Amino acid sequence: MTSTTDLIPAPRALDGPLRCGFVFDERTALWAGPGTGSTERWLRSVLGPALDLPLPPGPEDSPQAVRLRVDDTLEPEAYRLAVSATWGVEIRGGDPAGVFWGAQTLRQLLGPEAFRRAPVRPGMRYGIPHQTVEDAPRFRWRGLLLDVARHFMPKDGVLRYLDLMAAHKLNVLHLHLTDDQGWRIEIKRHPKLTETGSWRSRTRLGHRASPLWDERPHGGFYTQDDIREIVAYAAQRHISVVPEIDVPGHSQAAIAAYPELGNTDVIDTTALPVWDTWGINPNVLAPTDTTLRFYEGVFEEVLELFPADAAAFSAFVHIGGDECPKDQWRRSPAAQARIKELGLAGEDELQAWFVGHFDRWLAARGRRLIGWDEILEGGLAPGAAVSSWRGYAGGIAAARAGHDVVMCPEQQVYLDHRQAAGEDEPVPIGYVRTLEDVYRFEPVPPQLTAEEAGHVLGTQANVWTEVLEDHARVDYQTFPRLAAFAEVAWSALPTPAERDFADFERRMTAHYARLDALGVAYRPPGGPKPWQRRPGILGRPIDGAPPNR
């Protein structure tokens, strides 16, 4: 049994707990009101097996029931969880998502055994003290980026991360599907994207300056049915999946598959393989009608696989737009002719034209474009949103210009960056970002007015996988810091300096037991275990405090 004060993320308000309470046993029934079916199914399929209880349907007025209901007097995603010895458990949500987040809190109250897939103590009954928890999220967009392009994560791993996100009340999975090092989504009209573009012959081990190589071919991709399954699984957990298809940079895997997409008048694109190392790649898409028509075909299939439905952010499509070197365009007669034809000032405006084309194309189909903050350069399409990754500056500029923003500054919430300064940290990348550093991250810059801050949709932690070769490495870099990030995204915390990290650390003691039950290979508080280290593999540590701009 867990104390309410051990909950992560921290709830907005609570009353209790008192000594008396409710006991889950074979008599416990489940009553589900209209609109709560996803939570009802989740409780039976996940909580039931963990507690060895069937949770059969029962009458609404049963004192032995868990009752689920939508209450539109509550705000969206808000919930009220009440536990009583005399009338059972009731979860009210402002919408179906709110009911589901209330069920996640119920799971935490039941203790770490509720996070297992089968009972470890058959016959044990679980009690929850009398209490009321009232809660609602601070931000609407509470995201996690998984980079499956650099190192492929099989479908079951993505489904597992959707469960981990749900357990932390995160609601947007940004799935980074394409890059120079791999194309991970089946496109039926362009089969070579996966036949050729989904695998590379070898992989750089560590930072791009490392002399070490893994000589094994690496690859994989999601079939269209895999994507449909991922999207449906996420929707059942009230998570929106935002796909990223990178244009016009980070595209060598696509060019390797279809050389006509590259700048054929300045390089021999037929000689380009899927890239096997890391960094900013000079080989970018050609700004031709051939390229536009090709990617329109790609996006047509992507929109069918990622339908815009009731999910909060399912209408968004991410087009990347970052780290697009312009040297090939400067040397390309075709690109220069396009600049002259369109009356553009130069290559930055050419990229803005490229982005603007797909913004209009997506908008005509009821979708919204979102891209990395480089899409601000050369002018930004009116309906586009921005992922601010190079610090806060891009997000500030975008919000002041009236664009919606997701704050994910690399110096603060890139979880592939190292967690401590010690030599045992595996493949150390970037600045040190400890659990406390992430807990003190503030997504809304103080420079913004209240009106401008209203354009901050929320925040996102990014997990890039250049040096994360498997799920254990992803777990190590992501946890426990994702728990701190989840509280920043969900809870109404005081200013960073006033946040009670000691209390958060105390609550993490209980949360580590939940992560253990879920099989998460997190970084222990005392440092990496021997098998989590990667001695001899070169990283790129940066000393000092990261810039806060």
DSSP strands (E only) in 230-333: 240-247, 316-320
Task: Confirm whether 511 is a catalytic residue.
Answer: no
Omega within 30 of 0 (cis) for the link into 191: no
Please answer whether residues 380 and 317 qualify as being in contact, where contact means their C-beta atoms are separated by less than 8 angstroms.
no
Rounded CA-CA distance 493/149 in Å is: 34
Q: Which two tokens stand for residue 360?
A: 């209009």
Task: Confirm whether 250 is a catalytic residue.
Answer: yes
Question: Quick one: the chain helix, strand, coil %, rounded to 5?
Answer: 35, 20, 45
Please answer whether residues 161 and 146 qualify as being in contact, where contact means their C-beta atoms are separated by less than 8 angstroms.
yes
* Residue 547 confidence (pLDDT): 86
For every one of its 549 residues, what pLDDT tens digit does the chain have, with 9 covering 90 and above? 444 579 999 999 999 888 788 999 999 999 999 999 999 999 999 999 999 999 999 999 999 999 999 999 999 999 999 999 889 999 999 999 999 999 999 999 999 999 999 999 888 888 999 999 999 999 999 999 999 999 999 999 999 999 999 999 999 999 999 999 999 999 999 999 999 999 999 999 999 999 999 999 999 999 999 999 999 999 999 999 999 999 999 999 999 999 999 999 999 999 999 999 999 999 999 999 999 999 999 999 999 999 998 778 999 999 999 999 999 999 999 999 999 999 999 999 999 999 999 999 999 999 999 999 999 987 787 778 999 999 999 999 999 999 999 999 999 999 999 999 999 999 999 999 999 999 999 999 999 999 999 999 999 999 999 999 999 999 999 999 999 999 999 999 999 999 999 999 999 999 999 999 999 999 999 999 999 999 999 999 999 989 887
Residues 6+ apart with CB under 8 A from 341: none
SS3 159: helix
388: amino acid identity, one letter = S
Rounded CA-CA distance 376/457 in Å is: 17
Please answer whether residues 355 and 290 qualify as being in contact, where contact means their C-beta atoms are separated by less than 8 angstroms.
no
Q: Which two tokens stand for residue 81?
A: 């969880």
- The C-alpha angle with vertex 541 and arms to 537 and 544, in degrees rounded to 5, equals 160
Q: Exactly one of 250, 403, 455, 471 is catalytic; name it.
A: 250
Q: Exactly one of 163, 276, 323, 505 is catalytic; name it.
A: 323
Please answer whether residues 387 and 336 qualify as being in contact, where contact means their C-beta atoms are separated by less than 8 angstroms.
no
* Residue 19 confidence (pLDDT): 77
Task: Of 455, 523, 449, give the one whose Cα is nearest residue 484.
Answer: 523
Task: Confirm whether 135 is a catalytic residue.
Answer: no
Rounded CA-CA distance 296/304 in Å is: 13
* Residue 1 confidence (pLDDT): 40
Q: Exactly one of 40, 113, 179, 469 is catalytic; name it.
A: 179
